[in-house]
Amino acid sequence: MTRRGLIGAAALGALTARSRALAQAAPWPQAQPIRMIVPFGAGGATDIAARVIAQEMSVFLGQSIVPDNRAGAGSTLGTGLAARAPADGYNLLVTTISGLAIGQTLYRDRIQYDADRSFAHVAIMMGTPYLLLVDPRLPIRTLADYLAAARQRPMDYGTSGVGGVAHLLGLRLARATGAALEHVPYRGSTQAITDVLAGVVPSVLDSLTATSAHIRSGALRPLANSAPQRAPEFPDVPTFRELGYPDVVADGWAGLAAPAGTPRPILERLAEAVRHAQAQPAVQRRFAETATSAGRFYLDEAQAFVRQEVATWAPVIQASGITPD
């Protein structure tokens, strides 16, 4: 190589190294797109809502946020991937009650992360109760009718999978009432709901977010919801608590977290972006359409909330005797 070529190569190498250093030193979030790991398949209620929020966060931050669906193993696959990702502000995780609060205990021998210590929780973005719904072609109009039928013949109820909130609520209801309720797990809520619509199974336990459109159309008949109070959007649907089952209570929440060690200024900026997104018409419209409520915990409060949820659900899971298999 000629002397001029050597000088040129050296200059190019120096320029490349300088460009890389500048990219690394660029103010967050300008270096690269932000990855938002969604530990479920695409198309579910949480995935759709998270994408709407991500779009509004992108506008606020001036940087693209790319959803990355990593479903599997009760959402522990994607969650574990996020826990091992660099804590640089370019890796985020959509968190849920099933994936963290329940998964922490249910999958304790199979996971290498901790719901509290492995993550810096940015926000609880949204919440929704769970409902017991039946095929409206059945002669079942109330929870009392449902339980009476289940005492005469085992009643199947579909859910989005073993160990989820809906499964645990079904177990609680069965134990509280003595009714014979048979769990039918699916690989997602969409499939469970589809089979009720088709008459394959008679009932389903799922979130209000996932079922609200079917309730409005009359395709599913709601019998009770798991919130402490009735949902404002569906005031005629009673709660399990008011019907005499105070233990059949749960709020299905979804949040946003980053790997532990992510710098605090980045976490604070992300929390601001979530607040901004929640206030935007597109997000509020989506929440209204699906009867989803906006979350209200951020940063330290969100961290404490997740910690408390793990403590609350641990004895329930242990008492249930369920396993991931």
Cβ contacts of 202 within 8 Å, gap of 6 or more: 134, 135, 138, 140, 155, 156, 157, 196
3 state SS of 150: helix
If residue 211 lies in a helix (H) or strand (E), which one and from where to where? Answer: helix 208-217
pLDDT at 45: 75
Structural tokens at position 32: 């690269």
Report how far apart, in Å, the C-alpha atoms of 127 and of each of 46, 265, 296 are.
10, 26, 9
pLDDT at 242: 97
Q: Report the predicted TM-score, pTM, of the whole model to 2 decimal places.
A: 0.83
pLDDT in tens, 91-144: 999 998 888 988 889 888 888 899 999 999 999 999 999 999 999 999 999 999
Q: CA 31, CA 118: separation in Å to the nearest integer?
A: 24
pLDDT at 256: 98
Long-range contacts of 237-242, Cβ-Cβ distance < 8 Å, separation of 24 or more: 237/131, 238/143, 240/132, 240/143, 240/173
pLDDT at 67: 94
Structural tokens at position 178: 């003595």
- Ranges of the chain with pLDDT below 70: 1-26, 325
